[in-house]
Amino acid sequence: MSTLAVAVTKRAPVATPSPKHGAAALTATRRAVTYIEDRVRDYPEGPVTLDELAAHCGLSPWHLQRQFKRLMGVTPRQYDEALRLKRLQAGLKTGTGGVAGATFDAGFGSSSRVYERADSALGMTPASYARGGRGARITYGISDCPLGKIMVAATARGLCRVILGDNSEDLIADLEAEFPAAIELRRDDATVAVYIKELMRRMAGELPHAALPLDIQATAFQRRVWAELNQIPRGNTRSYGEIAAAIGQPGAARAVGQACGSNPVALAIPCHRALRNDGNLGGYAWGIERKQTLISSESRLENRKKKISEKKA
């Protein structure tokens, strides 16, 4: 059993509200419990914040935290995490999507404390990429999409390649060229289905549900650029120069463009939001037409959202 699975199975059960407390306190706490449970089940994009929960229950964050802990024996955050760990445990038992897929589906993301406790020997380490993926076991899937075809490849740790193209044969050839020394390249559409579903949402311009776990090699500079790309709001773009300035290297616009071009995971890292300094689209590894379509889809949805907000105001 993996370290991650052991951590889940050792988790203590969560208490239920005690009836000896006041009716108002019980009602508010039950509202909070129901809200957390619904969020974890239907929209697992990350932990429910205390401010969000307090607004839903009509209490101050301090009062809700104190009342919840008194009745439940745990804080709202601990209750939320317990439910996500239970969801993670179920995902691990089914085996669909591997550890990384189950972690993402439970709403933890690649940076969570739970994922970091996973067995360090799991999947492919970044160093293996420098050797053509030596020692890696990679599962991939291919699906039709509005931009042609999408291939998603992943190790047990997370996504290692996302490619857009016109036909399956070229996508498979690209993957084989990227990881010539991998122990295994195996197609299993069901295993990576959770990733494909999320990437298709992003392709349509929707906001991400959660951070996708990644297993990619990058220099320190590339990681800074890619992290900054993820900070660009949906429906917006930034020039290479603006991105360079944002990471504290205003003279590195050209290097930023190269970092965008080397992005191995289309959509998971939104390099399509980066433009040349003159405002032109610049390059895109998967075709300028696809880049324009992605930018237009995001802009259209963001404008629609603004109009709805204005009508409600």
Contacts of 304 (CB under 8 A, 6+ apart): none
| Cβ within 8 Å of residue 300, ≥6 positions away | 205
- The single residue listed with the structure tokens 């003279």 is 251
In the block, which residue shows the tokens 């629609």?
A: 304
**Which residue(s) pair with 164 in the sheet?**
150
CA end-to-end distance (rounded Å), the chain: 53
Q: Please name the residue ranges forming H helices in 151-239.
A: 168-178, 193-203, 220-229
Q: Is 271 a catalytic residue?
A: yes
In angstroms, the Cα distances linking 238 to 162, 211, 254 are: 22, 21, 14
Read off the tokens for 227: 């992290």
Give residue for tokens 């509200």.
17
3-class SS of residue 214: strand
Cα separations (Å) of 302 from 80, 238, 280, 292?
A: 30, 16, 21, 15
88 within 8 A of 103, measured Cβ to Cβ: yes
Coil vs helix vs strand at 266: strand
CA dihedral 248, 109, 48, 1 (to 10 degrees): -150
Could you give the CA distance from residue 164 to residue 162 in angstroms, rounded to a whole number? 7
Q: How many CB atoms lie within 10 A of CB 85?
A: 19
Can you list the alpha helix ranges (DSSP code H) found in 130-216?
168-178, 193-203
The amino acid sitting at 54 is: A
The catalytic site residues sit at 271
